[in-house]
């Protein structure tokens, strides 16, 4: 992953409310540790991938990530996070759609409630 992408993850995280952080990480979290950041940005484009949504000015407003649920599995968990100011504008849907397409390219099926509504999720 390029260094700019790590910066994007940090920038998105810093623009999340406490509630949005809790919803994404399922625990109270004040800052990303280096271990968190390493995990979130470690990708191999097969078992894991990360996507960043940016404004026309290049400001990051959302991130999506998928990771294979277990070795040799055909399922992947997808997580999407959108900064509070950009929620309810279609950014999360677009990221989820692109993440779903990325899982299909990697011959994986996105798992979870939100993933079931993605085009092609009936595979």
Angle at 123 between CA 69 and CA 82, to 5 degrees: 55
Is pLDDT above 80 for 118? no
pLDDT tens for residues 38-67?
Answer: 999 989 988 999 999 999 999 999 999 999
Quote the CA–CA distance of 107 and 119 in Å, as a whole number: 15
Cβ neighbours, 10 Å, residue 68: 19
Residue 110's closest CA among 96, 95, 93? 96
- Domain at 3-115: CATH architecture: 3-Layer(aba) Sandwich (3.40)
Is pLDDT above 90 for 9? yes
What share of the chain in percent tops pLDDT 90?
A: 61
End-to-end CA distance of the chain: 29
Is pLDDT above 90 for 120? no
Is pLDDT above 90 for 82? yes
Is pLDDT above 50 for 90? yes
């Amino acid at each position: 992953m390029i260094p700019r992408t790590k910066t994007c993850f940090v920038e998105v995280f810093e623009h999340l409310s406490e509630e949005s952080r809790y919803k994404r990480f399922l625990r109270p979290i004040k800052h990303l540790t280096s271990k968190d950041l390493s995990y979130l940005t470690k990708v191999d484009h097969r078992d894991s991938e990360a996507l960043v949504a940016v404004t026309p000015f290049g400001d990051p407003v959302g991130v999506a990530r998928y990771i294979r649920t277990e070795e040799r599995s055909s399922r992947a968990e997808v997580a999407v996070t959108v900064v509070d100011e950009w929620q309810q504008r279609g950014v999360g849907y677009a990221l989820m759609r692109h993440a779903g397409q990325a899982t299909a390219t990697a011959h994986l099926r996105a798992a979870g409630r939100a993933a079931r509504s993605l085009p092609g999720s009936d595979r």
